[in-house]
Structure 1
Amino acid sequence: MKNILFFGDSLTAGYGLLNVSLESLPALIQAKVMAEKLPYHVINAGVSGETSAGGLARINLLLNKPIDVFVLELGANDILRGIPPQTTAANLQAIASKVKAKFPKAKLVLLGMELPAWIPGAFAGAFREVFAQVAGTNQMTFVPFLLDGVAGVAHLNLRDGLHPTAAGYQIIAGKVWPFIRPLLEVG
């Protein structure tokens, strides 16, 4: 059995869902894997509130099991906390470098984030570049905006307006799966 590691924050962890083991993004990707009878196990390594610095501090703890596909989803909390985009880029790069050093054959995916409309232009533009640059530098499969089609849609988000509902995650999984599926070996 091969491993797909989802490494991220509350958007990976499934914050606010009634049943994370069925409704979170990693769980929905696992269901798609099982429906196609692919030999992969999805690991949800999401931690609510995680920043890119927090992820960098804990990535080594997760490199003890083989990783065949590494899905990186961090940066949203950096944005919300006003962490400089250059710091986020350096942390995401360091995480990718650690994974590649330990598992050079692993396929890497970066789930990007866009900024809320209330964040000023220059900061927003700098953050937009972070995800594209890290993905390009590391030849990562790149999903530009994880919450595409869900962000800002009231009935697809919890009352906080930041975290998707189970219905929101269904849409997200449907959009992320076409990026992940080609990376999975059938045999």
Structure 2
Amino acid sequence: MKKIVLFGDSLLAGVMNGETSDILDKHIINELTGMDFPGYGLVKLGKRGESSSEGLARIDDAVEAEGDFVVISFGTNDSLKQKNTLEDFGENIREIIESFDASKVILLTTGYINTEIIPSGDNERQQLYAEKAKQIADEVGVNVIDLYHHMTVYPKPNEFVQKADGIHPSEEGYHFLGALIARDIKEKLLAEG
């Protein structure tokens, strides 16, 4: 069975209604199967509240999982809790990405926050972290999904986040994210021939 490693913060842990879940996993697998790419399993290495520096400290777990694809998602805790400066975040993400074969990596940027629910959230700062992630991805040659952009081009981005916490994807948001990840994997597989 081929493996997709989900390495990152609570976004990849599938937090729903305050608990980790398999909601994102199901959407990724269902989307891939629906596109005639069945036979994938997931290795879940998402941790709640984790910054890029904390992820870097446990990079060996993700490397040892030997995934056929590695989805990386850090930045929201760096931005929201201001655990790492923008430059530190960029260096951490670079080091995390460079731990893997670039052809296997899919990097997710930070997403949109409903600041009515989380007043300490700052979407301008989220966008800066998203731009930094895109810059690093471009420099090291890995695929990137600009989650912030995908969420904010939609007229009602609050529909993509849970009303309970304003940050984690809603059911619709996880379905959307699963489809974006599956599409990126499909494109990588088609490029391989």
Tell me the alpha carbon deviations over residues 91-114 of structure 1, each in whole angstroms, 9 at most, x when there is no partner. 1111111123xxx6x421111125
Instruction: Tell me, yes or no, if structure 1 residue 133 matches structure 2 residue 130.
Output: no
Q: CA deviation at 1:129?
A: 2.8
Q: Return the TM-score normalized by structure 1.
A: 0.80
Query: 1:29 maps to which residue?
Result: 28
Aligned to 1:165: 170
Q: Distance in 2 between matches of 1:49 and 1:91?
A: 16
In 2, the alpha carbon distance for the partners of 1:181 and 1:135 equals: 19
- Give secondary structure in 2 for the equivalent of 1:184: helix
The code of the aligned residue for 2:98 comes to S
Per mean C-alpha deviation after superposition, the further-off stretch among 164-173 and 56-65 is: 164-173
Specify whether residues 151 and 8 from structure 1 end up closer, same or farther in structure 2 by C-alpha distance, changes over 3 A only.
Answer: farther
Trace 1:97-136 onto structure 2 (pairs within 5 A): 97-100=98-101, 106-114=103-111, 116=113, 119=122, 123=125, 126-136=128-138
CA contact (8 A) 1:9 1:74 kept: yes
TM-score (norm 2): 0.78
- Alignment gaps of 5+ in structure 2: 116-120
Cα distance, 1:50 vs. partner?
A: 1.0
Deviation (angstroms), 1:86 = 0.4
**Is the 1:110–1:141 Cα contact (8 Å) retained in structure 2?**
yes
Shift of residue 133 of structure 1? Answer: 1.2
Distance 1:67 1:166, change over 3 A: same
Structure 2 counterpart of 1:110, which letter?
L
Q: How does 1:1-187 map to 2 (within 5 A)?
A: 1-17=1-17, 20-21=21-22, 23-24=23-24, 26-35=25-34, 36-82=36-82, 83-100=84-101, 106-114=103-111, 116=113, 119=122, 123=125, 126-145=128-147, 148=151, 149=154, 152-154=157-159, 156-184=161-189
Tell me the CA shift for residue 37 of structure 1: 4.4
Q: Distance in 2 between matches of 1:151 and 1:94?
A: 35
> Aligned partners of 1:34, 1:19: CA distance in 2, in Å?
23
The alpha-carbon deviation at position 151 of structure 1 amounts to 7.8
In 2: Cα distance, 1:19 partner to 1:128 partner: 24
Post-superposition shift, 1:162? 0.9
User: Is 164-173 or 135-144 further displaced after alignment?
Assistant: 164-173
Secondary structure, counterpart of 2:105 in structure 1:
strand
> Does the Cα contact within 8 Å between 1:158 and 1:164 map onto a contact in 2?
no
Q: Is the 8 A contact 1:7 1:45 kept in 2?
A: yes
- The 1:164/1:126 distance shift into structure 2, 3 A limit, reads closer
- SS of match in other structure, 1:99: coil
Measured after TM superposition, the shift of residue 172 of structure 1 is 2.3
Distance (whole Å) between structure 2 residues aligned to residue 49 and residue 151 of structure 1: 26
Distance 1:19 1:136, change over 3 A: closer
